[in-house]
Amino acid sequence: MAGMAILLVAGINACKGVKDTKDNITSAQDFSSSETEFAGAFDITDDVNQSDGKIKKGGSTLLPPEAIFTWDDSVFDATGIEYHINFGPLGTTAPKGMLCGDGKYRSGVIHVKVSNNYLAIGTVATVSSTSMDEYNSGDGTNMFKVEGSFSVTRTAAEQLDIVVTGGKITDGDGKTAEFTGSKTIIRTSGSGTPGMWGDTYEVTGSGNGKNKDGDTYTWKITKALVKKMEVGCAKTFVAGIIEIKNTSANTSLKIDFDPYSNAACDRVAKAIFGTREIIFTVK
């Protein structure tokens, strides 16, 4: 899901005094950025895909009208389709990229293949971008180049299984982090409306990655994440817990998105480092 900008930089910096050499906060930062941008790629393409059983741009609630939407006629038939979305060049001054309906800025090109009617059980959608596509995503100031692919398989009417392979993000300083994993997304409300705006989802999953310093880590959703695609909520989760642990570490870092047990759209979360807890606001 989009908006997993989990850790407020100020919150992370406040915790650096309790970090030992094994418990690398960099992994949490890089996981946050990686998951956020890959989830954003899912959001924009899932919104287009589910807007109509056969896909129509006009039904999307997130895709901006300025984006160039291109069909690949060579693979268009009664079932499978392929299309490409071009968000234009990456700007040199903020805000960089094209503003989309979910509040994220995007530039460059992403490619989408859908094996069948998107709403049919068993349909597989594949989303990809290469280095040459120059696909970037972020908040308009902090933009990340995104490379890799993920598959989306519909396993039930309201359930999708997602597998990310070869994921890579590069920040504005040219530093690269890697990211892989699998997730299950279940829509719990909003199935009667086009697009994903107004929907509520639950997300589970796990995976691994390599941070910009070359340290490997694992990540796991230990309590299902809850996402509301609403104004004020769409950039992060309102409930759920993620655990992140460096491969060589003795302890893990946990993020609780509902520290007050009220599932509020307040962007408040809690970082847990062993016995220490810090409340922070998600960017």
**Average pLDDT estimate for 142-164:** 96
**Structural domain range at position 135:** 9-281
Q: What confidence score (pLDDT) does residue 55 get?
A: 46
Provide, rounded to the nearest whole percent, the portion of the chain with pLDDT above 90. Answer: 47
**More confident: 90 or 199:** 90
In a domain, 4, yes or no: no
In a domain, 116, yes or no: yes
pLDDT bucket at 271, cuts 50 / 70 / 90: confident
In a domain, 3, yes or no: no
Provide, rounded to the nearest whole percent, the portion of the chain with pLDDT above 70. Answer: 83
pLDDT bucket at 202, cuts 50 / 70 / 90: very high
In a domain, 207, yes or no: yes
Q: How many domains does the chain have?
A: 1
Q: What confidence score (pLDDT) does residue 164 get?
A: 97
Q: What confidence score (pLDDT) does residue 63 get?
A: 87
Residues 4-37 have pLDDT tens digits of: 444 444 344 444 444 443 445 778 778 878 888 8
| SS3 readout for the chain | CCCCCCCCHHHHHHHHHHCCCCCCHHHHHHHHHHHHHHHHHHHHHHHHHHCCCCCCHHHCCCCCCCCEEEECHHHCCCCCEEEEEECCCCCCCCCCCEECCCCCEEECEEEEEECCCCCCCCCEEEEEECHHHCCEEECCCCEEEEEEEEEEEEEECCEEEEEEEEEEEECCCCCEEEEEEEEEEEEEECCCCCCCCCCEEEEEEEEEEECCCCCEEEEEEEEEEEEECCCCCCCCCCEEEEEEEECCCCCCEEEECCCCCCCCCCCEEEEEECCEEEEEECC
In a domain, 148, yes or no: yes
Residues 203-254 have pLDDT tens digits of: 999 999 999 999 999 999 999 999 887 777 766 788 999 999 998 888 888 8
Q: What confidence score (pLDDT) does residue 80 get?
A: 79
Distance of CA 36 to the CA centre of its chain: 4
With beta carbons less than 8 A apart as the criterion, state whether 185 and 176 touch.
Answer: no
In a domain, 2, yes or no: no
**More confident: 199 or 145:** 145
In a domain, 208, yes or no: yes
Q: pTM for the full model?
A: 0.83
In a domain, 36, yes or no: yes
